[in-house]
Amino acid sequence: MRLCLLGVLLTMWSGLGLTAVHAQAPGGPPSVGVVRVQKQPITETSEFVGRIQATDRVNLLARVTAFLEERHFTEGAEVKKGDLLYVLEQPPFQADLEAKKAAVQQMQAQLQNATIGLNRAASLLHTPAGQQSTVDDTRATMLSDAAQVLAAQAQQKQSEINLGYTEIHAPISGKIGRTTVTVGNVVSPSSGTLASIVSQDPMYVVFPVAVRVMVDLRHRTADKGGFRAVLIRVRLPDGTLYDQKGALDFEDNTVAPTTDTVILRGSIANPPLGHDASGGFTERELVDGEFVTVLLEGAEPVELLSVPRAAVLSDQQGDYVYTVGADNKVQQTRVQLGQSTPVMAAVLSGLTEGQMVVLDGIQRVRPGLVVTPGPASPPLADTKP
């Protein structure tokens, strides 16, 4: 029994010893997937925080004092230029206009009579009954009556203008907001804004750019038509990319002293998404005052050294990649990145064309480790940001 027990223990010890030796036996170099650094066409893109602004904005005001009698629009709907929006109380202004018309006719009658008197006095001037003083007096009367006719006509014109102010029409096409005064209230020029209209298509996108970035952008586009060659794209607040493209159309003439930035502005289309026939509402993607991310894209792609973005790591000192040399040893290589896409990263310095960069198995490598390189799995299809 003792011999049997000893044999069993020896067998177990030898099995454990073999297992330990096998576990401690060094394996081969780890396999990693690498990609070659090469030039690829990349559309240069810069991102900024911007705001959507309407190209036209109008605050509707009352030009005369009167009761608000009618409202002819739906709040939040789109209106067209010339549409009737408000009607103020008109009878007092119509009566005033009729009185001014009567005054004009009265002054014209007096002028006609003065003209007849002047002609009669002038015809008698060369007769014993005629006097120069009479002619002078009648001429003065006629001129005075003519001036009174002009004054009466001016007052009539003012009354016509005031009557026209009782109807408030849309001066531009766009989306109208809520009304601040309801029907039945008295409105006047001191009542403030009755409602606001903002144009809808196209829209402005306004964003500040650091002077250093603007100078670099100017240099990059100098041989491509300048800022006009830069395309504007917008990323909406939910992260989706707006499907319309715009163009820069304005550069401010002053640098903000506190932020060292310059305001740039672009114009971008804002077509309707749909229309609610029952309420007259038209849905559009861009809204006045909305915060968005502005992407400035070069009009044409440029050839740049690039690596998959997944191969780029970062620490407190900056960006780096793991490269594999001719001896299959891993090295940490610092890089400076340029304009990139979500899949590919442009490399401005640190790498040369043809170098091998670790992409697959990057978590298993460290500087100085010998690896077995092989082709990495292809990156996902590149898309625009």
Pick the CATH number of 31-40+303-375 from 1.10.1200.10, 3.40.718.10, 2.40.420.20, 3.50.50.60: 2.40.420.20
Which tokens go with 371?
């690896």
Specify burial of residue 28 (Cβ count, 10 A radius: 0-12, 13-18, 19+): exposed
What pLDDT shows up at residue 300?
58
What pLDDT shows up at residue 186?
93
Listed in order, the ranges of the chain carrying CATH 1.10.287 are 91-164
> The domain at 46-55+199-297 falls in which architecture?
Beta Barrel (2.40)
CA distances (Å), origin 158, targets 106, 120, 152, 224 = 18, 36, 10, 56
> SS3 for 326?
coil
| CATH class of the 63-88+167-198 domain in this structure | mainly beta
Pick from 294, 247, 237, 289: nearest CA to 268:
247
> SS3 for 194?
coil
CA 55-60-65 angle, 5° bins: 165
> The domain at 91-164 falls in which architecture?
Orthogonal Bundle (1.10)
- For residue 331, the tally of other CB atoms under 10 A from its CB is 16
Listed in order, the ranges of the chain carrying CATH 2.40.30.170 are 46-55+199-297
What pLDDT shows up at residue 4?
42
The DSSP annotation for 8-51 comes to HHHHHHHHHHHHHHHHHS--PPPEEEEEE-EEEEE--EEEEEEE
- Chain centroid to Cα 285, Å, comes to 11
Q: Looking at this protein, which amino acid is placed at residue 124?
A: L
Specify burial of residue 139 (Cβ count, 10 A radius: 0-12, 13-18, 19+): middle
Write down the pTM of the prediction.
Answer: 0.65
Listed in order, the ranges of the chain carrying CATH 2.40.420.20 are 31-40+303-375
Mean pLDDT, consecutive 10-residue stretches, the chain (385 aa), reads 42 38 52 86 76 94 93 91 94 93 90 79 67 74 86 92 94 93 92 93 92 79 69 88 88 87 91 68 88 78 79 88 89 83 79 89 87 77 44
3-state helix, strand, coil in the chain (%, to 5): 30, 35, 35
